[in-house]
Structure 1
C-alpha cells in the first residue's frame, strides 16, 4: 500500500478523528482539573497590616486563612511602633488565594549599633563629617580642654560619659566632641 493511498483511506481519517476527539477531551479535563485544584474563582483581599504587632498580624491572617513569613528586619523607623509590621508583600488591597504566604518585614526595637571610629587627633570638621556620614548626630555643646591643637579632637562624650574608639552606640545617638583649646600648658 502506498502512502498516498493510506492518506486517502478511511483508517487514516478515523485515526485523525480519534486524535482530535482525544485532544479535546484532554483539554476540557485539564481545564476542569486546574479550575478545581487552583481555586480559580477564589479571591481574598490582603488586609492592611502596617503598624500591627506580629501577634495581631498573625490573628488577622489566620481569620482569612492566609499564612505569613517574617523577613529580616529593615532599618529602624521611629514613626512605627517597635516590632510592628513596616512592609508587606503582597501589598494591602491585592487579591490572593487561600493559604497564600504574606511576607512581612518588622520594625526593629531600636536603631542598629554602630562602632565609634578613632577620631583622636582629627580636626573638628573632619570628625563632624565622619560621624554624620556613619549615622551619628554631633552635638553643638563642645567641651574644650587645655591642648596645643586648636579644634583638634581629644575625646568623645555621649550623655556626659566618655566613649572610646570601637565602642558601639545606636545610630542617631548624639555625640559631643571634646576639643583642644589651642593654648599651651
Structure 2
C-alpha cells in the first residue's frame, strides 16, 4: 500500500513537475543551439554554371563561399564549349548553406576514339550496320575498286587515308567505304 500512497503524495508530483520542466528546458536549449550551429535561415542560391569554364566557375563559387568538385566528364556534346560544365548538383536555383560543394559534370575536349575493326569481306549492309553501331557515320559516296564481289567491303577511308584494323577515329566521324565493283577477277 505504501507505493500507492507515494504516487498520490505531494513529493511525487513535485518530482514529476521538475522532470517535465527539465526536459522542456533541454529541448528548447538544444533547438536554440542547433539553430546557431547549422546557420538556420541562412541560404545561398546556387547559380547556373552550365556552359561555363572551370576558371569562371571557381571565381563565381568563391564569391558565394561555395566550393566545387568535378565528379565526371560526360560524352562529348558539340553544343557545349570544350571543358565546360554540362550538369551540376544541386541544380541552379536551389538553396544551399555556405561552404557547400557543388558537384560538376564536364564536357570533354573531343569525342572519344573508336577502334576500327576489320570489315573486309562483309557486305555493304553489314558494314554500314556495324559502323553505325560503333558510333560512326558512313559516307554516301563509296569508292569502288576492281573486285569480283559487288558491294563487298575492301577497305575503309577516313579523310582520304586508308584505315587498318586497330586504327582509332573520333566517335561520330564520317567513314567512307571502299567496295568491290563486281567486274574484277
TM over 0.5: yes
Aligned equivalent of 1:83: 83
Give the deviation of 1:10 after TM superposition.
2.0
Aligned length: 185
C-alpha distance in structure 1 between counterparts of 2:2 and 2:150, whole Å = 108
Structure 2 residues without counterparts, runs of 5 or longer: none
Aligned equivalent of 1:63: 63
For 1:72, what is the secondary structure of its paired residue?
Answer: strand
TM-score by length of 2: 0.96
Give the deviation of 1:117 after TM superposition.
2.0
C-alpha distance in structure 1 between counterparts of 2:6 and 2:111, whole Å = 81
Give the deviation of 1:131 after TM superposition.
0.7
Structure 1 residues without counterparts, runs of 5 or longer: none
C-alpha distance in structure 1 between counterparts of 2:18 and 2:62, whole Å = 49
112-121 or 172-181, larger mean C-alpha shift = 112-121
Matched, 1:16 2:16: yes
C-alpha distance in structure 1 between counterparts of 2:94 and 2:121, whole Å = 56
C-alpha distance in structure 2 between counterparts of 1:131 and 1:7, whole Å = 87
For 1:175, what is the secondary structure of its paired residue?
Answer: strand
Give the deviation of 1:132 after TM superposition.
0.9
Aligned equivalent of 1:118: 118
Which deviations, in whole Å up to 9, do the C-alpha atoms of 1:148-178 show, x marking residues without a partner? 1110111011001011122211101110000
Which deviations, in whole Å up to 9, do the C-alpha atoms of 1:11-31 show, x marking residues without a partner? 221221111011101110111
C-alpha distance in structure 1 between counterparts of 2:58 and 2:170, whole Å = 30
C-alpha distance in structure 2 between counterparts of 1:76 and 1:11, whole Å = 77
